[in-house]
A and B are shown apart, each in its own frame.
Chain A
Amino acid sequence: MVEAVLEYRQIEEAYGDAKEKHLWLKARERFTSETHARPDRDRYRNAWLKRFKARRNVRESANCKELHRKRRPVKAASQNFPHGLIVAVQRMIELLELPPGWNSYNARPISKENVKFALSLLGQAMRADTPAPTVIPMVRGGVQLEWHTGGINLEISIYSPHEASFFAENLRSGGDSIEGEPNLALLRPWIDRLSR
């Protein structure tokens, strides 16, 4: 029995030594491959650097105005994004967290479907320069979007994705007003008037 244990220990020690040796060899191999120059790798690296510099020179040369011009639409696209929409999204996220009874009179929590509908409507109707609407929660889980600026009063009440109403008036043109369902054809002229 004692002999068997001793034999097992010898095997274990031998295995440990072998493992240590293997790891050391592996580390040395990695070290030498990283520190010693390798002509094939250097050749590829130099070729890549050459191509990179050539491309940079082309970009910076006076002859590449066309290239720069082609990049402009990317910038323009970000400029056309309605930043008021971001404000509205942030507000709607807050509203989704309202607990039942948030108005102290048994109001329902705001429904995700109504928020989705409101965002989709805003996404289609808002321009880059449209001010952010004031987003108001409604007692039955709906959302009301309001603008009261520039002589325009515009209110979109979303009771559900299937029941919504829209009211707009221009205080500067003698109270010219309209009301109905908020379709894009009706909304857009009023959103344009609101936008700067």
Chain B
Amino acid sequence: MSTFCLEHFPDDSSIADTTDLLRRIPPWHFIRDDNLGVVRPSSAAFEDDADGDPMSVYLSTLLVANHRESASVLVGHTGYALASITAGLARQKNQTVCPAPLPEEASHSVVCGDKRSGGRNSAKKVFAHSARWVIPPSDGFVQR
């Protein structure tokens, strides 16, 4: 794990490995993988933000605790889908999972660490292949 992440976004061990981390996936990141016979998120969907902030996710446990549906994080985002990876998988790929609540979204958290290097075992590729659809993409939004 990088020193930057350990200092600024330390891992919160109270978040269990089994916790689902939800990530909004825009329609431009749906990909038809003929080798697997599925539509999945592209690895480009699991990169850090353009401003250098770590990748944003939403803690499913906090949504449940607040009696909210997962779909609530997609409100106002037509055509988007919702994918999830587990906190355990993020940690396996040398990432920290750190709560970063926003005024409008208490479940907001970040996944910090290098996501590019490692070729087929890079964090972003592993996340893209392991992600589970919580709300799958609509057919009309998947590229032919």
Determine how close the nearest CB of chain A comes to the CB of B28; give it in whole angstroms. 5
Asked if A106 and B28 sit within 8 Å, CB to CB, the answer is no
Task: State the CA gap A107–B120 with chains docked (Å).
Answer: 24
Task: State the CA gap A38–B44 with chains docked (Å).
Answer: 74
Residue in A103, A137, A138 with the greatest tally of chain B CB atoms within 10 Å? A103
Cβ proximity bits B110-141 to A, threshold 8 Å, 1 near / 0 not: 00000010011000010000000000000000
| Residue numbers in B under 8 Å from A89 (CB-CB) | none
| Residue numbers in B under 8 Å from A144 (CB-CB) | 42-44
Cβ proximity bits B18-61 to A, threshold 8 Å, 1 near / 0 not: 00000010101101111110000011110111110100100000
Asked if B119 and A139 sit within 8 Å, CB to CB, the answer is no
Contacts known (A104-B24, A105-B24, A146-B31); A138 close to B49, Cβ less than 8 A = no
Task: Check: A121 CB closer than 8 A to any chain B CB.
Answer: no
Task: Check: B68 CB closer than 8 A to any chain A CB.
Answer: no
User: Which residue of the partner chain B has the closest CB to A143?
Assistant: B44
Task: Check: A140 CB closer than 8 A to any chain B CB.
Answer: yes
Asked if A134 and B31 sit within 8 Å, CB to CB, the answer is yes
User: Which residue of the partner chain B has the closest CB to A153?
Assistant: B35
Asked if A138 and B44 sit within 8 Å, CB to CB, the answer is yes
Task: Check: A167 CB closer than 8 A to any chain B CB.
Answer: yes
| Residue numbers in B under 8 Å from A102 (CB-CB) | 26, 28
Task: Check: B143 CB closer than 8 A to any chain A CB.
Answer: yes
| Residue numbers in A under 8 Å from B120 (CB-CB) | 153, 167, 169, 175, 177, 179
Asked if B42 and A146 sit within 8 Å, CB to CB, the answer is yes
Q: How large is the interface on A (under 10, 10 to 19, 20 to 34, 35 or more residues)?
A: 20 to 34
Residue in B28, B33, B51, B143 with the greatest tally of chain A CB atoms within 10 Å? B28
Task: Check: B9 CB closer than 8 A to any chain A CB.
Answer: no
Task: State the CA gap A155–B44 with chains docked (Å).
Answer: 10
| Residue numbers in B under 8 Å from A106 (CB-CB) | 49-51, 53
| Residue numbers in A under 8 Å from B33 (CB-CB) | 148
| Residue numbers in B under 8 Å from A103 (CB-CB) | 24, 26, 28-29, 45
Determine how close the nearest CB of chain B comes to the CB of A15; give it in whole angstroms. 70
Asked if B35 and A171 sit within 8 Å, CB to CB, the answer is yes
Asked if A177 and B119 sit within 8 Å, CB to CB, the answer is yes
Asked if A95 and B28 sit within 8 Å, CB to CB, the answer is yes
Task: Check: A125 CB closer than 8 A to any chain B CB.
Answer: no
Asked if A136 and B28 sit within 8 Å, CB to CB, the answer is yes
| Residue numbers in A under 8 Å from B125 (CB-CB) | 155, 167
Determine how close the nearest CB of chain A comes to the CB of B37; give it in whole angstroms. 10
| Residue numbers in A under 8 Å from B53 (CB-CB) | 106
| Residue numbers in B under 8 Å from A149 (CB-CB) | 34-35
User: Hey, which bits of chain B sit against chain A, CB under 8 A?
Assistant: 24, 26, 28-29, 31-36, 42-45, 47-51, 53, 56, 77, 80, 116, 119-120, 125, 143
User: Hey, which bits of chain A sit against chain B, CB under 8 A?
Assistant: 91, 95, 98, 102-108, 134, 136-141, 144, 146, 148-153, 155, 157, 165, 167, 169, 171, 175, 177, 179
